[in-house]
Amino acid sequence: MSLIEKLKKVYLKCEDALMSNYSCLCCEREVPSDSDYSLCSDCYKKLNKISGRLCTVCGDSLAAESMECMLCNNISYSFASNQSCFYYDETAGTIIKSYKYGGRKYYAEHIAKLMFDNLNCFKGIDLIVYVPISKNKNKLRGFNQSELLAKHLSKLTGIKVIDALSKDEVKFSQAGLSREARLKNLSGTFHIKAENNDKLKGKNILIIDDVFTTGSTLSECAKELKKAKPKKIITATFAKTKLNSLN
Ligand SMILES: [Zn+2]
Ligand SMILES: [Zn+2]
């Protein structure tokens, strides 16, 4: 790690400690320390909750009288179903970007609370697993955003979280790739940690991630976890890309 990278890390740590609980996660205006989720009322209202009749697979809202959306009619995932709280638009996107790339670990507690209050996928779950990031990415970012969300959700739900998967370095960044290209890029990069095989067998597993884009990351994780023969695997994320905005 270069000196500039080290200094950036120290700066982000100080900012993390100073700003926690006093500014809106989205617009950074001051908020009362007891405000829900550390969001100002304007930004909270702007969050676009995924609601109404939902696709039983990916959790997106449905326009037509069907059980599954057009995309899920043609795709099979390795998980049984997904739930996401909000559409990944400007508001949710700003929160996620500040959390992930701004080194703001304290966001995790608030984002996890938003997930806990807006999702109903925790009942009957035996274990929480999170999407891993590669060692290089962890070094660069300083933390795994999905791991922190999973750990806070574990505290809120009382469901145990386990470090079940590892991830190799991917050849290219996933950003901007089509679903097919994402799958190819991710194929074989997730590995189940052998010591967890017995813990996962016959269990109902919930995988946590920050954003559901095409579902390929979560599907690859579920595919790898299936090697341990769990009973069922479902997934949950804070945000989800709107179906019609995918290529
Ligand atoms: Zn705000
Ligand atoms: Zn769907």
Range of the domain at 133: 52-95+109-245
Question: Does residue 32 fall inside a structural domain?
Answer: no
- Model confidence at 11, in pLDDT bands (50, 70, 90)? low
How confident is the model over 177-181, as a mean pLDDT?
A: 78
Question: Does residue 155 fall inside a structural domain?
Answer: yes
How many Cα atoms sit within 13 Å of 213 on the Cβ side? 13
Question: Does residue 6 fall inside a structural domain?
Answer: no
When comparing pLDDT for 77 and 187, which is higher? Answer: 77
Ligand nearest to the CA of 28: 1
Tens of pLDDT, residue by residue over 118-140, are: 999 999 999 999 999 999 989 88
pLDDT(19) > 60? no
Question: Does residue 129 fall inside a structural domain?
Answer: yes
List residues bridging with 81 in a β-sheet: 234
How confident is the model over 98-110, as a mean pLDDT?
A: 93
Question: Does residue 207 fall inside a structural domain?
Answer: yes
Tokens of 95: 């929160």
Question: Does residue 10 fall inside a structural domain?
Answer: no
> What is the model's pTM?
0.88
Question: Does residue 91 fall inside a structural domain?
Answer: yes
CA of 57 to the centre of ligand 2 (A): 5
CB within 5 A of ion ligand 2: which residues? Answer: 55, 57-58, 69, 72
Question: Does residue 100 fall inside a structural domain?
Answer: no
CA of 104 to the centre of ligand 1 (A): 16
In whole numbers, what is the pLDDT of the chain averaged over residues? 89
Residue 150 confidence (pLDDT): 98
Could you tell me which residues come within 8 angstroms of residue 166 by beta carbon, excluding any fewer than 6 positions away? 132, 190, 191, 193
When comparing pLDDT for 1 and 107, which is higher? Answer: 107
- Model confidence at 16, in pLDDT bands (50, 70, 90)? low
Q: Which CATH number goes with the domain that contains 117? A: 3.40.50.2020
> What is the signed CA dihedral for 74, 78, 81, 86, rounded to 10 degrees?
-80
Number of domains into which the chain is organized:
1
